[in-house]
């Protein structure tokens, strides 16, 4: 038995109720999904604008694959960089008001490559404790010294920055925290970066397409522009497709092209995805009703759940976590909703801190008011 130890570890995980399962979807992502043969009303995707199954994106993917085929066949630096990739990079840079942008295959890879290319031994990273796992992994891979500050604690960040640090300084934060839905105080953080001459990497995976005028994201939401900011966002959430991009000063982007290993040593994503993303960018930036409807449903949900024993965490974004506490209670509540045909995931440690297991409710512009009413009603029925 060469893997006996692994088996024991898995058993232990199961006993603690921490085993993770994958559920099989048989339908497109959306409000009404079919999962393992059963229909559900879903509140668990990051498809915030309801674009993942949009006919115009499907058509763009089809015509993109007619034009370019399916596989890219090589990495970007060999022969896998297609016209659709280049056009999309130009459009994304313009959209977020940065001089240049670079596409990555996923957000995870974008974070790994960006941090590793920008800092290394002898440099220091300052990071929010609730940053996304990909940023945490990126920090370790970079070999820079790591200083973590308490969630959104600008005073502690300042203390850390004020200590003497040789080398480069890079502050890293999620713009919208993925399991909490709250925003980082970006204006204050940027002001500190200016004062202490640090660079600022912002991960806007959950803000891009959702926040700011035309969905330009968290920088637009706060009205911030600064060459010091390295802006990263993903394209598999609100944008409804897949991938990610980093937008920054030309010299930063060129540095990534030359030395981001997760950019260089991987096959370029299929160019047809870039075609679909061009269609997505058009819809995302012009259809303001999607963001207006989201904002309306967020207030509807918050009002509707105000009387429950479980409390919604403070959030103005489509991520509306309902704090439950223990792992068992969170799982039981998710199961009870599931029995009523409603799918909301329970999120447990280590994804979130101990004792803060929660239901991560996410809203999409594709939800209707009636869908939200149904969720509110079901949760009220489950109070005991």
Question: Contact between 89 and ligand PLP (CB under 6 A)?
Answer: no
Site stretch for ligand PLP (CB under 6 A), options 13-21, 83-91, 105-113, 296-304: 105-113
Residues 6+ apart with CB under 8 A from 43: 342, 343, 344, 361, 362, 363, 367, 375
> Please, what is the minimum distance in Å from the beta carbon of residue 350 to ligand PLP?
16
Question: Contact between 106 and ligand PLP (CB under 6 A)?
Answer: yes
The catalytic position among 98, 147, 169, 206 is 206
CB atoms within 10 A of CB 35: 15
Question: Contact between 134 and ligand PLP (CB under 6 A)?
Answer: yes
> CA-CA distance, 3 to 344, in Å (whole number)?
34
Q: Which residue in the set 76, 98, 132, 360 belongs to the binding site for ligand PLP (CB under 6 A)?
A: 132
Q: Calculate the alpha carbon distances from 44 to 27, 221, 243, 305, 368 in Å.
A: 14, 24, 19, 17, 15
**Is the CB of residue 362 less than 8 Å from the CB of residue 318?**
yes
User: Does the annotation count 151 as an active-site position?
Assistant: no
74: alpha, beta or left? (left if phi > 0; alpha if psi -120 to 50)? beta
**Is the CB of residue 356 less than 8 Å from the CB of residue 129?**
no
> Please, what is the minimum distance in Å from the beta carbon of residue 232 to ligand PLP?
8
User: Does the annotation count 142 as an active-site position?
Assistant: no
Question: Contact between 173 and ligand PLP (CB under 6 A)?
Answer: no
Taking the least distance from each CB to ligand PLP, the nearer of 115 and 312 is 115
Residue with the two structure tokens 């941090």: 115
> Please, what is the minimum distance in Å from the beta carbon of residue 206 to ligand PLP?
6
> CA-CA distance, 155 to 160, in Å (whole number)?
9
The catalytic position among 45, 72, 142, 178 is 178
Question: Contact between 244 and ligand PLP (CB under 6 A)?
Answer: yes
Question: Contact between 116 and ligand PLP (CB under 6 A)?
Answer: no
Residue 2-41 contact track with ligand PLP, rule CB under 6 A, x = bound: ----------------------------------------
Taking the least distance from each CB to ligand PLP, the nearer of 45 and 178 is 178
Taking the least distance from each CB to ligand PLP, the nearer of 42 and 234 is 234
> CA-CA distance, 297 to 363, in Å (whole number)?
8
**H-helix segments, the chain:** 4-15, 55-68, 83-95, 107-118, 133-142, 154-162, 186-195, 218-221, 250-259, 261-264, 271-286, 288-304, 327-339, 369-381
Residues linked to residue 75 through DSSP beta bridges, in sequence order: 267
User: Does the annotation count 178 as an active-site position?
Assistant: yes
Q: What backbone phi and psi angles, to 5 degrees, belong to 364?
A: -130, 150
- Which string of b and e fits 289-312 if b means at least 16 CB within 10 Å? ebbebbbebbebbeebbeeeebeb
Q: Which of residues 199-238 bind ligand PLP (CB under 6 A)?
A: 203, 205-206, 234, 236
Q: Closest residue (Cβ) to ligand PLP?
A: 107
Two structure tokens written together for 280:
């997505």
Site stretch for ligand PLP (CB under 6 A), options 103-111, 302-310, 363-371, 373-381: 103-111
Q: Which residue in the set 29, 42, 178, 280 belongs to the binding site for ligand PLP (CB under 6 A)?
A: 178
Question: Contact between 246 and ligand PLP (CB under 6 A)?
Answer: no
Active site residues: 178, 206, 237
- Site residues (vs ligand PLP, CB under 6 A): 106-108, 111, 132, 134, 174, 178, 203, 205-206, 234, 236, 244
């Amino acid at each position: 038995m060469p893997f006996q130890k692994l088996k024991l570890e898995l058993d232990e995980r199961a006993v603690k109720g921490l085993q993770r399962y994958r559920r099989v979807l048989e339908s497109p992502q959306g409000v009404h999904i079919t999962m393992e043969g059963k229909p559900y009303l879903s509140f668990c995707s990051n498809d915030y604008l309801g674009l993942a199954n949009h006919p115009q994106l499907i058509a763009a993917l089809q015509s993109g694959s007619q034009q370019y085929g399916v596989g890219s066949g090589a990495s970007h630096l060999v022969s896998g960089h297609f016209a659709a990739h280049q056009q999309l990079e130009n459009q994304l840079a313009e959209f977020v008001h940065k001089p240049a942008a670079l596409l990555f295959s996923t957000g995870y890879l974008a974070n790994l490559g960006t941090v590793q290319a920008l800092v290394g031994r002898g440099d220091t990273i300052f990071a929010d404790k609730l940053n996304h796992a990909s940023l945490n992994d990126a920090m370790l891979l970079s070999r820079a010294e790591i200083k973590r500050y308490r969630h959104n604690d600008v005073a502690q960040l300042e203390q850390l920055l004020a200590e003497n640090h040789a080398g480069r300084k890079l502050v890293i934060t999620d713009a919208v925290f993925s399991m909490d839905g709250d925003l980082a105080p970006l204006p204050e953080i940027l002001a500190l970066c200016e004062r202490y001459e640090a660079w600022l990497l912002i991960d806007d995976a959950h803000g891009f397409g959702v926040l700011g005028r035309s969905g330009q994201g968290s920088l637009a939401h706060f009205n911030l522009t600064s060459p010091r900011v390295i802006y990263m966002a993903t394209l598999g959430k609100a944008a409804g497709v897949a991938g990610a991009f980093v937008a920054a000063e030309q010299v930063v982007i060129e540095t990534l092209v030359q030395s981001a290993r997760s950019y260089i040593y991987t096959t370029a994503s299929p160019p047809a995805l870039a075609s679909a993303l061009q269609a997505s960018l058009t819809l995302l930036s012009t259809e303001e009703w999607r963001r207006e409807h989201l904002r309306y449903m967020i207030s509807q949900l918050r009002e509707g759940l105000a009387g429950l024993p479980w409390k919604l965490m403070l959030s103005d974004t489509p991520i509306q976590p309902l704090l439950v506490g223990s792992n068992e209670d969170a799982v039981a509540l998710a199961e009870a909703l599931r029995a009523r045909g409603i799918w909301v995931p329970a999120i447990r440690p280590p994804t979130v801190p101990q004792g803060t297991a929660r239901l991560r409710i996410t809203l999409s512009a594709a939800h209707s008011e009636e869908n939200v009413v149904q969720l509110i009603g079901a949760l009220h029925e489950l109070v005991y």
